[in-house]
Amino acid sequence: MKFASRLVSFDPAPGDRFRPISTPIYQTATFEQEHADAFGEYDYSRSGNPTRSVLEKHLALLENGTRGFAFASGMAAISTVTKLLRNGDDILADSDLYGGTCRLFSKVLDRTGITARYADACDLDRFEQQIAPKTRLVYIESPTNPLLRVVDIRRIAALAHSHGAILCVDNSTMSPYLQNPLDLGADIVLHSATKFLCGHHDVTAGAIVVNDPSLADKIYFMQNAEGNALGPFDSFLLLRGIKTLKLRLDCQQRNAETIAKFLLSHKEVMRVFYPGLAENPGYELQRSQARGSGAVLSFTTGSAEVSKAIAEHAKLFRITVSFGSINSSISLPGHMSHASVPPEVLAQRDLPQDLVRISVGIEDEEDLIADLEQALHLATRRTCLAVE
């Protein structure tokens, strides 16, 4: 079955006597048991909930995995993966990571005796040299946020496995429609489902999908023990959002490609980071492991001042953190989503202060380009006047 069909053809309510086409919201904390000494399928919503179960099964199918898990946020999902480690273990991560992930690795895990180190995963030899005997988890995003660097998932997986580590891939910038890391050898695929999976900025959620049953059991244990699973209402909204994933992303990606080319040809733009451009160093690799380049891109202007002014003059692109929604958004990662990266980690990575990240929505592409054009015009004119 093709992806578009898989998105909508799933059992929305297994066993339900009314056969609804939309999944019922089981907004309940607990479930009555038929017997005092034998539990039914559900006993307590922290441990399991029918609405969440439908979502979790669907997520697993879409990522070509066997078990899926829905969490209260992407960070709750990431935090759960780190609980597979113990005191003394080590994480090796790519150097271009979401700021919140860096904060978790460097500000919370270090207190529990788990080390996190960062290396450029695009340089496979140097990355491999950084793997230590204690490295249990290799952690990457691809394309990365916010520089859209493409990491070779197949080769990083092989490398991690040859050193006895597991590979976790944050697939938030792609969604299961464009890339399936488990098929490329990853052990865990993870999403901030707040982004493309939800697509409407109305849910904060996270997702994990795995194939290995023992890994799945451990993740389930922690989801229940730490109590960070997604609620029933949010599970329903996410299920609804996912149905239009392909429609949305096809449109967003088309718009993003047009905008990337527009930016590339614009005289005030210095560099454009988007793997869908033939000029991008990750172009071929992206084509070999994903089915598209997504709808997030970033660019520099040579001046942090100008970049800030562009964000503030843009009207359709609204200043928000997060990405992947039907609404276009614009942000300055160095000042917003990545402001939480500890300075010592920031020093290691090449995060330009004039970097502008945009997430392209489903508005009309002509309107989006006109908006960027006027924002670029006003921003550069204003800063020129200020210089004079």
Residues in region 217-236 near another protein by CB under 8 A: 221-222, 225-231, 233-234
Question: Which parts of 315-334 interact with another protein (CB under 8 A)?
Answer: 318-322, 325, 329, 331-332
Minimum distance of another protein from residue 243's CB (angstroms): 18
- Which active-site residues does the annotation give? 46, 98, 170, 195
Q: Which is nearer to another protein, 33 or 162 (CB)?
A: 33
User: In this chain, which of 20, 44, 284, 370 binds another protein, going by CB under 8 A?
Assistant: 44
Q: Does 32 bind another protein (CB under 8 A)?
A: yes
Sign of CA dihedral 69, 62, 199, 294: positive
- 167, 157 Cβ separation under 8 angstroms: yes
If DSSP states are collapsed to H, E and C, what string results for 114-142? CEEEEECCCCHHHHHHCCCCCEEEEEEEC
Q: Which stretch binds another protein (CB under 8 A): 21-29, 154-162, 284-292, 360-368?
A: 21-29
Looking at the Cβ atoms of 47 and 130, the one nearer to another protein is 47
Shortest approach of another protein to residue 75 CB, angstroms?
A: 3
With beta carbons less than 8 A apart as the criterion, state whether 267 and 384 touch: no
User: Please, what is the angle between helix 50-62 and helix 232-242, to 10°?
Assistant: 30
Which residue, 237 or 372, has its beta carbon nearer to another protein?
A: 237
Which stretch in 82-90, 115-123, 161-169, 371-379 sits in contact with another protein by CB under 8 A?
82-90
Q: Which two tokens stand for residue 180?
A: 């399936």
Which residues within the stretch 196-215 sit at the binding site for another protein (CB under 8 A)? Answer: 198, 201-204, 206
Please say whether the beta carbons of 208 and 190 come within 8 A: yes
- Sheet strands (E) in the chain: 67-71, 90-94, 115-119, 135-141, 166-170, 188-192, 206-210, 271-273, 296-300, 318-319, 329-331, 356-359
Rounded to a whole number of angstroms, the minimum distance from the CB of residue 102 to another protein is 10
The residues, any chain, with a CB within 8 Å of residue 1's CB and separated by 6 or more, are: 9
Which residue of 17, 18, 21, 37 would you call a contact of another protein, by CB under 8 A? 37
336 binding another protein? (CB under 8 A): yes
Nearer to another protein, 166 or 311 (CB): 311
- Is 259 or 314 the residue whose CB approaches another protein more closely? 314
Alpha-carbon span 141 to 120, nearest angstrom: 12
Scan residues 263-322 and list those touching another protein (CB under 8 A). 308, 311-312, 318-322
Dist CA 6 CA 23 (whole Å): 16
In the region spanning residues 99 to 128, those forming contacts with another protein, defined by CB under 8 A, are 100, 103-104, 107-108, 111-114
Rounded least distance, CB 43 to another protein, Å:
5
Q: Please provide the DSSP assignment of 325-386 as one string.
A: SSS-EEE-TTTTTTTTS-HHHHHHS---TT-EEEE--SS-HHHHHHHHHHHHHHHHHHHHHH
Query: In terms of DSSP bridges, do strands 166-170 and 135-141 run parallel, antiparallel, or are they unpaired?
Result: parallel
Q: Decide if residue 241 touches another protein (CB under 8 A).
A: no
Q: How many residues bind another protein (CB under 8 A)?
A: 71
Cβ neighbors of 354 (< 8 A, separation 6 or more) are 270, 300, 301, 302, 303, 304, 306, 307
Report in angstroms how near the CB of residue 105 gets to another protein at its nearest: 10
Q: How far is the CB of 218 from another protein (least distance, A)?
A: 10
Q: For residues 117 and 200, which CB has a smaller minimum distance to another protein in the complex? A: 200
Nearer to another protein, 3 or 233 (CB): 233
